Amino acid sequence: MRPPGEGPPAKRPKAMLPARPAVQPRGPPPAEQQRRSLPIFPVRGRLLGHIRGLDSAVVIGETGSGKTTQIPQYLYEAGIGRQGTIAVTQPRRVAAIALATRVSDEKKTELGGLVGYSVRFDDLTSDETRIKFLTDGMLLREAIGDPLLRRYSVVILDEAHERTIHTDVLFGVVKAAQKKRKQLGKLPLKVIVMSATMDVDLFSEYFNGAPVLYLEGRQYPIQVFYTRQPQSDYLQAALVTVFQIHQEAPSAQDILVFLTGQEEIEGMTKTCRDIAKHLPDGCPQMMVIPLYASLPYSQQHRIFRAAPKDCRKVILSTNIAETSITIPGIKYVVDTGMVKAKKYRPETGLEVLAVQWVSKAQAWQRTGRAGREDSGICYRLYTENDFEKLNQMTIPEIQRCNLSSVMLQLLALRIPNVLTFDFMSKPSPEAIQAAIEQLVLMGAVERKDNQLVLTPLGRKMAAFPLEPKFSKTILLSPKFHCTEEILTIVSLLSVDSVLYNPPARRDEVQSVRRKFISSEGDHLTLLSIYRAFRNVNGNKGWCRENFINSRNMMLVSDVRAQLRDICVKLSMPIESSRSDTGNIRRCLAHSLFMNAAELQPDGSYRTVDSHQAVAIHPSSVLFHCKPACVVYNGLLHTNKCYMRDLCVVDADWLYDAAPDYFRRKLQAAKN
């Protein structure tokens, strides 16, 4: 069943007819039998018949239809696209790896043979590989080396409804490659966009009116309830709802509650546990489990453990449980309707992280988490009227981000005019312009004969899988003889924080971390942590004692090795500044000069660039300090406008870094 309100898209064509049951003299082997039991199997023939003759197709499939595992195999088995490889993109690494493993099993081949995968740091493909699962970001990276995607005969863009920034850029890249290959008379490129039941018209229109094929799925019915009145306090409402369910429903039925963030979830966890201690006799026990991305793996895994008898699992989660983590056995979903999400204001260059309403699509996604194994129930803690007022879809990431990376990539892809690039959902002209300005300021892009071209520096920057400002920092580092240190710092900054901060043990964390702190700022503090980590060879016990996230630390080593390889390929000299931190700070001043702030007489800070009032983020080691001049990695607007990851610099260095820029700033200030 479809939840009420989602409804089938208006232009839904005739449902596909089931094919005749296949007659087999002997029963097929179990794996084959399993494949044949999928909802997609009966329509295999018709599906292939359609796709064979098309350049592009949109496939809409509900959860459990089997589209992602079966369609690539059907195409391969039918000899469609045999002249090349079939690429299937996924937004997430784990999904790409899991799907490749599954399909490889079904084909009874060794993973990395006929079926393989390619994700960052992990490539399991060979010359034999004909079905390749990869992250969308990985295919984009490949496209920079080969914009026509020549090795692929079919590109399947899966989970397109999630509209990640990479998928959105890929839409344009594959469309352009398809057109160009046709013009040049090369092997045609077939494009298949796969999505849940959303955005259909948009996808179809974008790919020149590509036909839309629908697949039924296997989802259990879910009852949806709304509140009668709007709730002024969604946390209170969630609490009441959870305990109401708890007192009425059998204890084997678990509850998943969607909340907005770590702090809220930790607070709610504590409240629930306190209340659960004083429940009336005869009421089942309650196991309350928080879930959010920065939680260590070991704690995230607790959600998969079955609760003891007469005990109910209640999982309090961020939107990580919407897509990234599937929790088995959820009967009830409690949806607060709220999410913490990033917005981007191009006029100020500010990213704003704010609690806001979910979209309808997101609300349905949350609801669907209750019907994975059996029928379910979803409580929406808002009125039906409020639901109707929600946006149809979540705004695609590409319209909520700083676009400097995207623009650099498009230029590296030799897109003729990046300002008019054929985006499915166009970012605002201001956002595109702001990104270009940033790239010009960094020296990555030049205007030549009214055209934007990549400078040699810009082309080198595009070789790094990093934000442009970080690539720039690395490329500047040989001048300051500190490439080894900058590689470490940039690697640390480009993964999730290596610092583990359990709120309950705050004092302990602070005292243990003191020994790493550099008065010169966060970059150098992180560097000293990494050096200490290397000195103990990544010892896990050491990480635990020092509240260091060892998983992220290992990742830093991987990133660093990858970046170092790229430096070697670019023939960069790689030197160490050893104990001289001055050069490291000079290098940071030269690459982050547009992100500088100065101490004001009243003790506050203002940016050098636009005189915006800013504050030092509480996570910074400089939070209690008042350095005269700093550069920072970025601004984050929550209650205040905060600078994150700071480095103490000399004001003179900034002027040396970009004299023209600061002269213009001074001029503008006078006028």
Partner DNA sequence: GAGCACTGC
Question: Which spans of this chain sit near DNA (rule: CB under 7 A)?
Answer: 91-94, 119-120, 135, 137-138, 140-141, 164, 166, 260-263, 292-294, 318-320, 324, 339-342, 353, 405, 465-467, 494, 496-497, 501, 506, 616-619, 623-624, 636, 638-640, 642
334 touches 363 (CB < 8 A): no
Provide, rounded to whole angstroms, the least separation between the CB of residue 637 and DNA.
8
Strands 451-454 and 445-448: antiparallel
Select 406 or 589, whichever has its Cβ closest to DNA. 406
Beta-bridge partners for 254: 330
CA–CA gap between residue 65 and residue 48 (Å, rounded): 16
Provide, rounded to whole angstroms, the least separation between the CB of residue 551 and DNA.
12
Select 38 or 134, whichever has its Cβ closest to DNA. 134
Provide, rounded to whole angstroms, the least separation between the CB of residue 546 and DNA.
16
How far from 380 is each of 257, 337, 386, 492, CA to CA, in Å?
10, 7, 10, 40
Select 292 or 379, whichever has its Cβ closest to DNA. 292
Provide, rounded to whole angstroms, the least separation between the CB of residue 324 and DNA.
4
CA–CA gap between residue 170 and residue 203 (Å, rounded): 13
Question: Residues near 385 by Cβ (< 8 Å), separated by ≥ 6?
Answer: none
Chain centroid to Cα 597, Å, comes to 30
Strands 350-357 and 376-380: unpaired
Select 342 or 606, whichever has its Cβ closest to DNA. 342
Provide, rounded to whole angstroms, the least separation between the CB of residue 357 and DNA.
14
Select 111 or 138, whichever has its Cβ closest to DNA. 138
Select 5 or 145, whichever has its Cβ closest to DNA. 145
CA–CA gap between residue 154 and residue 89 (Å, rounded): 11
CA nearest neighbour of 61 among 9, 106, 110: 9
Select 387 or 464, whichever has its Cβ closest to DNA. 464
Count of CB atoms within 10 A of residue 383's CB?
16
φ and ψ at residue 272, rounded to 5 degrees: -60, -45
Select 246 or 645, whichever has its Cβ closest to DNA. 645
Provide, rounded to whole angstroms, the least separation between the CB of residue 559 and DNA.
8
Provide, rounded to whole angstroms, the least separation between the CB of residue 599 and DNA.
13
Question: Residues near 100 by Cβ (< 8 Å), separated by ≥ 6?
Answer: 111, 115, 116, 117, 124, 131, 132, 133
Select 75 or 138, whichever has its Cβ closest to DNA. 138
Using CA of residue 419, residue 420, residue 424, residue 425, what is the dihedral sign? positive
Residue 51, classed as helix, strand or coil, is helix
Longest distance between any two alpha carbons in the chain, whole Å: 89
Select 262 or 348, whichever has its Cβ closest to DNA. 262
| Polymer length in residues for the chain | 671
Provide, rounded to whole angstroms, the least separation between the CB of residue 435 and DNA.
14
Provide, rounded to whole angstroms, the least separation between the CB of residue 378 and DNA.
20
* DSSP-assigned letter for residue 641: E
Provide, rounded to whole angstroms, the least separation between the CB of residue 76 and DNA.
23
Four-CA torsion 333, 216, 157, 113, nearest 10 degrees: 100
Count of CB atoms within 10 A of residue 147's CB?
16
Using CA of residue 15, residue 19, residue 21, residue 22, what is the dihedral sign? negative
Provide, rounded to whole angstroms, the least separation between the CB of residue 298 and DNA.
15
Select 135 or 546, whichever has its Cβ closest to DNA. 135
Residue 311, classed as helix, strand or coil, is strand
Q: CB burial class (10 A; 0-12, 13-18, 19+) of residue 142? A: middle
CA–CA gap between residue 437 and residue 631 (Å, rounded): 19
Angle between helices 136-145 and 404-412 (to 10 degrees): 40
CA–CA gap between residue 38 and residue 11 (Å, rounded): 25
Select 291 or 482, whichever has its Cβ closest to DNA. 291
CA–CA gap between residue 459 and residue 574 (Å, rounded): 19
Select 354 or 536, whichever has its Cβ closest to DNA. 354
Provide, rounded to whole angstroms, the least separation between the CB of residue 503 and DNA.
8
* DSSP-assigned letter for residue 479: G
Provide, rounded to whole angstroms, the least separation between the CB of residue 646 and DNA.
12
